[in-house]
Amino acid sequence: GDYTCTFTYSAQGGTNEQWQMNIGVSEDNSLFSCSIWRPQGKSYLFFTQFKAEVKGAKIEYAMAYSQAAVGGQNDVPLKQEEFEVTETTVSHREGKFRFELSKLMIVAKTPRDEL
pLDDT in tens, 5-46: 999 999 998 778 999 999 999 999 899 999 999 999 999 999
User: What is the side-by-side order of every strand in the sheet holding 4-12?
Assistant: 4-12, 46-55, 89-92, 83-85
DSSP symbol at 93? -
Report CA 51 to chain centroid distance, whole Å. 8
Residue 2: pLDDT band (50, 70, 90) is confident
CATH numeric code, 4-109: 2.60.40
**Integer Cα distance of 14 and 61 in angstroms:** 29
What's the predicted TM-score (pTM) here? 0.91
pLDDT in tens, 73-92: 899 999 999 999 999 999 99
**Integer Cα distance of 18 and 13 in angstroms:** 13
